Amino acid sequence: MSFDLDTYRSLSAKLETDDIDFSSFREQPLSPDALRCLRYMHDVENHTVCYLRDILVTRAHRDPDVTSFLTMWNFEEFWHGEAIAEVLDAHNESAGTGRIATLRQRLPKRDAWRPLTFQLGSFLTPPSDRRAHDVGRHQ
């Protein structure tokens, strides 16, 4: 699989929402099913940093292409979560940092062990030679 990190880096940016009239949702609210979906998407987008935490304790953090991609990915997901939060807020739904803080407080205690589990798994598995498949990519 080919992936052009340089192009991704140049295109990665904060999600533009200037053309969205969030107040229009008060006059024409979304359906309960759509809001349920948006709550889920909001939580996933805002949880990306937790996935990032789990990945960065593995040997993946040694690969500058991987960490560059993960940095841009996390940046974009954050702004997706913020935009969805504005839609939810327009519907008087819990959203943003308050909702996320509550969700994270309710995570099971085993969540604190996840980075250690990922780190151990990375240590115990043989490293892949991803670069062997990428020869000539930057030439």
Tell the residue number behind the tokens 């995570």, with chain if given: 107
pTM of the shown model: 0.80
Task: Categorize the per-residue pLDDT at 132 as very low, low, confident or very high, splitting at 50, 70 and 90.
Answer: very low
pLDDT of 138 > 80? The answer is: no
How far is the C-alpha of 22 from the C-alpha of 18, rounded, in Å? 10
C-beta neighbour count of 139 within 10 angstroms:
4
- How do residues 34-73 score in pLDDT, each as one tens digit? 999 999 999 999 999 999 999 999 999 999 999 999 999 9
Structural element, H or E, at residue 40: helix 32-56
> Where do the domains of the chain lie?
29-122
Rg of the chain (C-alpha set): 19
